C-alpha cells in the first residue's frame, strides 16, 4: 500500500494536510519493530521483538476553531480520519491469524442501543439505583454458562468481565480469600495474567514444569506440592494454554492433589478457559470441565470464540466462596464482589444475542469446523516440510517461527522464541489458510535458498516427531 500524507481538508480558509496517524493506515511491514534487547528481554536466547512505538504516530486531539460550527471543517477532518481508519481495519482483518478472536459477527441489530450509557455496576444479581443497566441479559448469559458447566442456579455466582484477564484475576482472588496462606501453583505455560495476579495479591507462586505438549507436568506438580504440604494449594488449570493450546488434565491434577495428602478443604482450583473453555464442551470424548468436580471457578473470554466487538468475558464461581470477598455498598444500593466497579453493560447484550442465535448446536458446528480446518493447516505445513504440531483437543497450530518479521506482522502471528502459531477460529476459512500457506512456502524458499541459514530445530519446543529440521526430518 502506498504511504500517503493523509487527506487535504480546509482549515481557516486554507487547504492543509491533515496530520493524523499515517502509519496506522499503511502496511505494517513498512514500519520498524522495537527490539527489547537493551532491556535484557530475551526468549530462548532470541531478542524479544516488540511492536512499534505508537506515540510517534498518535492521532493528536486538537481544539476546534472558533468558526468551526459554521465551516464544518473539523467534522470533515474527523470523518476523513474515521473513513480511512475503517478501511485500514477491513484490510488488517483480512490478514489476521495469530490471535484467538472470532471476527465473523454481525451485531447490526444492536446499533440502536449504542446511544445509551449502559452500566452494570455492582453485583449482577442485585439491582443498583442506576437504572440504565442490562442485568436481565447478564444473568441470562450467566445461567447459560452455569448449565454448560453443570452448576445449579442457587449454587453459583458470576459476572461478565471486561476480558479474560479479569476473570483470572477474580478467580485467583477468590482462591486467595478462601485460603489467605495458600500457595499458587501454575504451569510455566499459563497465561501471563496468572503471574500478574500473584504479584498483585503478593502470593507465593510456584511455577510447574510442562510436558512437551504444553500440558502441566503432574509429576513435577506432585514434587512441588509435597515441598509445601503444610500450606493450602491454589491451582490454575489451563483449558487451552496461550501458545500451544494445551489442555491440562483436570482429573489428573485432582488425583495428584489427593495423592499428595490435600483434601478438598485444602485446595482451590481455578480453570482458565479463555478460548477453549467454551469449545471443549462440544468436542467428542473431551474431558469435562464441570462443577461436579471439586473446582472453585471457571473463566472464559467472550470476544474470542463467541466473537464480540469489545473485549469481555465470563467468570463463574461457587456461591459459598463469593461471600468471603463481597461487601454491601450503600452508594450503589448493591453488593461489591467484582474486580471492576463500573462494568460494560453492552457486552452482556452482545453475548446474549449470539448465544440465542447460535445455541449449543450452532457452537458445536463451529467447533467441529475449527478442528477440521486446524488439522488441514497442520497437514499442509508438514507436507511442505515445515515443522508443525497440533494438540489433540486444540485448534491452535504451532509451527516454526517465520524468519521474516515483516511476514509475521503482515499475518499478525503470535510468536514465542522459535515458534509461532495460528489459532483457527470460525472466521478462518480454508481459502484464507491456503493464501497464508502459499505465501509462507514462497517466502520460505527465499529465506533459506542460499543455504547459509537453515530452518530452526524446534524439537525442544514441539518434540522431535513434530520437527522437520535437517536433523529430525
Residues 6+ apart with CB under 8 A from 99: 412, 414, 423
* Residue whose C-alpha cell is 441479559: 137
Backbone angles phi, psi at 389, to 5 degrees: -145, 145
Give CA–CA dist 206/112, Å, rounded. 48
Q: Tell me whether residue 260 is one of the annotated catalytic residues.
A: no
Strand, coil or helix: 357: helix
Residue 111 DSSP one-character state? G
Separation of alpha carbons 143 and 157, rounded Å: 10
Q: Is 307 in a helix, a strand, or coil?
A: helix
Taking alpha carbons only, the member of 97, 86, 105 closest to residue 303 is: 105
CB burial of 275-300 (b: ≥16 within 10 Å; e: otherwise) equals bbbbbbbbbeebbebebebebbbbbb
Q: What is the β-pairing status of strands 8-11 and 42-43?
A: unpaired
Tell how many helices (H) and how many strands (E) occur in the chain. 13, 19
Any bridge partners for residue 183, and if so which? 233
User: How far, in Å, are 188, 198, 240, 264, 468 from residue 254 at the CA level?
Assistant: 19, 21, 17, 9, 36
Q: What is the DSSP letter of 399?
A: E
Could you say which of 187, 394, 395, 427 is catalytic?
394
Which residues form the catalytic set?
Answer: 394
Amino acid at each position: 500500500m502506498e504511504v500517503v500524507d493523509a487527506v487535504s481538508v480546509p482549515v481557516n480558509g486554507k487547504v492543509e494536510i491533515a496530520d493524523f496517524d499515517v502509519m496506522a493506515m499503511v502496511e505494517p511491514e513498512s514500519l520498524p519493530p522495537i527490539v527489547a534487547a537493551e532491556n535484557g528481554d530475551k526468549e530462548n536466547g532470541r531478542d524479544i521483538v516488540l511492536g512499534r512505538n505508537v506515540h510517534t504516530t498518535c492521532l493528536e486531539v486538537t481544539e476546534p476553531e472558533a468558526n468551526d460550527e459554521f465551516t464544518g471543517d473539523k467534522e470533515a477532518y474527523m470523518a476523513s480520519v474515521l473513513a480511512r481508519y475503517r478501511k485500514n481495519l477491513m484490510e488488517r482483518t483480512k490478514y489476521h491469524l495469530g490471535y484467538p478472536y472470532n471476527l465473523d459477527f454481525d451485531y447490526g441489530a444492536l446499533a440502536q442501543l449504542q446511544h445509551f450509557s449502559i452500566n452494570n455496576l455492582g453485583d449482577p444479581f442485585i439491582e443498583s439505583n442506576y437504572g440504565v443497566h442490562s442485568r436481565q441479559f447478564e444473568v441470562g448469559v450467566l445461567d447459560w454458562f452455569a448449565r454448560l458447566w453443570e452448576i445449579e442456579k442457587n449454587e453459583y455466582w458470576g459476572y461478565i468481565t471486561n476480558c479474560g484477564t479479569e476473570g483470572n484475576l477474580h478467580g485467583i482472588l477468590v482462591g486467595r480469600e478462601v485460603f489467605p496462606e495458600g500457595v499458587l501453583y501454575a504451569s510455566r505455560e499459563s497465561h501471563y495474567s496468572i503471574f500478574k495476579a500473584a504479584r498483585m495479591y503478593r502470593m507465593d507462586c510456584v511455577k510447574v514444569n510442562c510436558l512437551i505438549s504444553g500440558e502441566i507436568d503432574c509429576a513435577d506438580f506432585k514434587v512441588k506440592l509435597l515441598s509445601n504440604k503444610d500450606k493450602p494449594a491454589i491451582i490454575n488449570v489451563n483449558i487451552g494454554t496461550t501458545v500451544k493450546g494445551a489442555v491440562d488434565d483436570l482429573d489428573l491434577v485432582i488425583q495428584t492433589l489427593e495423592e499428595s495428602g490435600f483434601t478438598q478443604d485444602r485446595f482451590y482450583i481455578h480453570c482458565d478457559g479463555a478460548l477453549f473453555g467454551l469449545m471443549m464442551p462440544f468436542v467428542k470424548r473431551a474431558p469435562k470441565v464441570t462443577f461436579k468436580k471439586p473446582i472453585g471457578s471457571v473463566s472464559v473470554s467472550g470476544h474470542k470464540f463467541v466473537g464480540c466487538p469489545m473485549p469481555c468475558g465470563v467468570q463463574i464461581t461457587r456461591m459459598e466462596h463469593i461471600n468471603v470477598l463481597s461487601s454491601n455498598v450503600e452508594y450503589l444500593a448493591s453488593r461489591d464482589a467484582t474486580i471492576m466497579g463500573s462494568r460494560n453493560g453492552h457486552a452482556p447484550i452482545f453475548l446474549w444475542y449470539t448465544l440465542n442465535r447460535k445455541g449449543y448446536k450452532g457452537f458445536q458446528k463451529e467447533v467441529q469446523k475449527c478442528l477440521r480446518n486446524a488439522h488441514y493447516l497442520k497437514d499442509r505445513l508438514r507436507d511442505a516440510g515445515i515443522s508443525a504440531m497440533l494438540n489433540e483437543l486444540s485448534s491452535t497450530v504451532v509451527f516454526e517461527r517465520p524468519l521474516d518479521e515483516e511476514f509475521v506482522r503482515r499475518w499478525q502471528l503470535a510468536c514465542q522464541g522459535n515458534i509461532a502459531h495460528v489459532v483457527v477460529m470460525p472466521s478462518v476459512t480454508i481459502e484464507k489458510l491456503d493464501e497464508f500457506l502459499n505465501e509462507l512456502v514462497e517466502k520460505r524458499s527465499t529465506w533459506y535458498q542460499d543455504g547459509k541459514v537453515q530452518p530452526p530445530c524446534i524439537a525442544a519446543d514441539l518434540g522431535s516427531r513434530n520437527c522437520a529440521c535437517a536433523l529430525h526430518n
